[in-house]
Amino acid sequence: MNKIQILGALAVLGFATSSCDHFLDENRYPLTKQINNKEYWTNASNIETQTNALYENYSGYGNGTGQGTFYFTNLNDDQAVTGVTPWTFTNVPSSSTNWSSPYTEIRRCCLIIQGIEEAGDALSASNAANYTGIARLNRAFQYYQLVKCYGDVPLITTVLDPADTEEIYGARVDRDKVMDYVLEDLDYAIENITAQSGKQVWSKDLAMAMKAEICLYEGTYCKYRTTAENGKAADETRANKYLNEAVNACSPLMSSYSLSSSYAANYRSVLSAMNQNPEMIFFKGYEKDVFMNSVVDYTCSSTQINGITKDAFNAFLFKDGLPKDLTSYDTSEVGIVKYVGKRALTSADDPEQIENLDGYTWDKRWYYIGDLLDRRDARLSVLTDTVAYYQLMSWSRAGAHQMTSSTGYGCAKFDDISIPVAYRPEGNKNYVCAPLYWLSKIYCEYAEAKAELGTITQSDLDASINKLYARAELPDLQLANIFHDPANNMNVNDIIWEVRRCRRCELLFDGFRYWDLVRWHQLDKLDTMNYPNIQYGANVTAEGCQPISNVDGYIDSKNGNERIYDKKYYFYPIPSGQINLYSTAGYELTQNPGW
């Protein structure tokens, strides 16, 4: 029962919920009653059941028809919906799973830790430390989610009793202190989890990969934050500490794993192939007719697809390793309309749509952009299709539905067309597996941490970014000959900009971009009025393209809407129901600025 593909069927045993306390049961700390039986916690099988339940917190491609963390996080500058994705919150909600769900899981972790402590010598020391490490790893992960969203949050480190009102209604704790506690949990997990590796089980390698991600976030956030917008000034000493922790977590993984020869294999592999992928550290497994997802269905559906933006498309380097403003390649973004299905005219045909004379017309036309992709970073050809498709110019990929995209550029990243069509454009029928922590992500984190520290060398680039570039059919990035991209609008040096570019292209559609903009202090880049390219798409000025709303020839997906930046969006609002519960009990839970 330790394989992640079975998590959809896991039952959480050993915990019982109670409705005796309104605040605990329905809000921050559910699961107020637990088995108070020492013998239960002396059984390693019972504890494993509890730690297995924690797998459900890693959504991957989702369960069944549910949406996971890949592709569906549309609040970024990489993909766009028609009409603009709004900010996560525009008003203060009464409740939010962003607040309650992490605390549910934190309490679960604390219950496991407490149960193991109460078991005493009945468990072997290694077993006790291993399961405690797993619980602390997951507690760290949940506090990381909370701090990203809310900044300062109440810090709970034990199982609360309903009578402990001072603890239950505890004030928000400085986010730096919370993140220091997260680091302690991560280090304990790395030291004490028994398994070194295991692509679908808790392991030391997973703990190091998680530490790399979290420490990179914390280091860059503390480097770029401001008092005016984040409530705390930048802290170089703290930033460097966490960036070095990220480097130290990445290094062992870079020597233990090797890069797959195929970028697509990280996203389009079935269970047996994913288990053989040499760069996979931890993934969510799916199995045909047993436990499946809908990621392919959502990305080759008859419902309009959320397409790649012009801004993201132009982030991909040309084959000479240079960006659009510097390359010697043809930079035209105009494709070619190709006609298929020549047939005789009928009386039902619209004379204005006739393509040929002499009694014949073309049944379909496709907007081919393969030549544009061939000039660029090879990852772009995996991410999107050789055909741009939009309203009145739809297209079908290998037997899927006729598709349209909000920007013309589609999403092909997760679709293995060798899988039977009955298991592709169908909800809860897809069984490609989802990467959760993998080597190419570690390479990006290592290079970024070193670049932010100002200590990156050519050897560092060759050990990380340049391996990804070789796979993407790009020349090496040379530190001694680093170029300046005129598109650099983040006020960072050229090497940091290029490392960020590689991360963006490597992880596009993977759900990281929004939080990258937050930690880089670049959330204003999601303002559609100031940065319209984040809603524009394909150039549709090719001869034969069906007309669609566009600006200077580029599809405009805004549809008359705008998303305006405000500094308050750096934090989510604390749910009003939580603030009211505190107030009713005679305590205070402060709201985030601007809400």
- Indicate whether 54 belongs to any domain: yes
pLDDT grade, residue 70 (50/70/90)? very high
Residue 4 has pLDDT above 70, yes or no: no
- Predicted pLDDT at 107: 93
Residue 177 has pLDDT above 70, yes or no: yes
Q: Percent of the chain at pLDDT above 90?
A: 86
Q: Which amino acid is at 25?
A: D
- φ, ψ for residue 443, nearest 5 deg: -55, -45
Residue 3 has pLDDT above 60, yes or no: no
User: Which residues, in sequence order, are bridge partners of residue 455?
Assistant: none
- Model confidence pLDDT, tens digit, residues 391-432: 989 999 999 999 999 999 999 999 999 999 999 999 999 999
Q: Which token pair is 281? A: 């550290």
Range of the domain at 97: 4-73+90-232
- Model confidence pLDDT, tens digit, residues 299-325: 998 999 999 999 999 999 999 999 999
- Model confidence pLDDT, tens digit, residues 126-135: 999 999 999 9
- Indicate whether 25 belongs to any domain: yes
Residue 481 is classified by DSSP as G
| pTM score of the predicted model | 0.93
Q: Please, what's the b/e burial string for 221-260 (b: 16 or more CB within 10 A of its CB; e: otherwise)?
A: bbbbbeeebbbbeeeeebbbbbbbbbbebbebbbeebebb
- Predicted pLDDT at 22: 43
Number of domains in the chain: 1
Residue 23 has pLDDT above 60, yes or no: no
- Model confidence pLDDT, tens digit, residues 458-474: 999 999 999 999 999 99
Q: Which token pair is 100? A: 């309650």
Closest-CA residue to 538 (of 405, 362, 354, 365): 405
- Model confidence pLDDT, tens digit, residues 199-254: 999 999 999 999 999 999 999 999 999 999 999 999 999 999 999 999 999 999 99
- Indicate whether 133 belongs to any domain: yes
Q: Please, what's the b/e burial string for 152-182 (b: 16 or more CB within 10 A of its CB; e: otherwise)?
A: bbbbbeebbebeeeeebbbebeebbebbebb
Helix (H) or strand (E) holding 536: strand 536-539
Q: What angle do CA 19, 25, 28 make, to 5 degrees?
A: 170
- Indicate whether 589 belongs to any domain: no
Closest-CA residue to 536 (of 524, 548, 544, 546): 548
Distance of CA 338 to the CA centre of its chain: 36
- Model confidence pLDDT, tens digit, residues 379-398: 999 999 999 999 989 999 99
- Indicate whether 195 belongs to any domain: yes
- Indicate whether 178 belongs to any domain: yes
- Predicted pLDDT at 358: 58
Mean pLDDT of 168-173: 95
Helix (H) or strand (E) holding 254: helix 236-256
Mean pLDDT of 88-115: 96
The CATH number of the domain where 134 resides is what? 1.25.40.390
Q: Which token pair is 128? A: 């006790």
Distance of CA 226 to the CA centre of its chain: 25
Q: For residues 574 and 89, is the Cβ–Cβ distance under 8 A?
A: no
- Predicted pLDDT at 359: 59
- Indicate whether 199 belongs to any domain: yes
Burial status of residue 591 (CB atoms within 10 A of its CB: 0-12, 13-18, 19 or more): middle
When mean pLDDT is compared across 4-8, 161-165, 267-271, the lowest value belongs to: 4-8
Residue 164 has pLDDT above 90, yes or no: no
Residue that is written with structure tokens 């110019």 in the block: 393
- Predicted pLDDT at 163: 84
Higher pLDDT, 356 or 151: 151
Distances (CA, A) of 322 to 369, 370, 476: 20, 19, 11
Rounded-to-integer distance, Cα 516 and Cα 312, Å: 14
- Model confidence pLDDT, tens digit, residues 315-372: 999 999 999 999 999 999 999 998 877 667 676 766 555 555 455 666 678 999 999 9
- Predicted pLDDT at 17: 33
- Predicted pLDDT at 346: 73
Burial status of residue 209 (CB atoms within 10 A of its CB: 0-12, 13-18, 19 or more): buried
- Model confidence pLDDT, tens digit, residues 561-584: 999 999 999 999 999 999 999 999
Residue that is written with structure tokens 């600006």 in the block: 551
Rounded-to-integer distance, Cα 276 and Cα 184, Å: 33
- Indicate whether 529 belongs to any domain: no
Residue 567 is classified by DSSP as G
Rounded-to-integer distance, Cα 131 and Cα 44, Å: 9
Q: Which token pair is 57? A: 């917190």
- Predicted pLDDT at 37: 73
Quote the strand ranges of 86-168, DSSP E. none
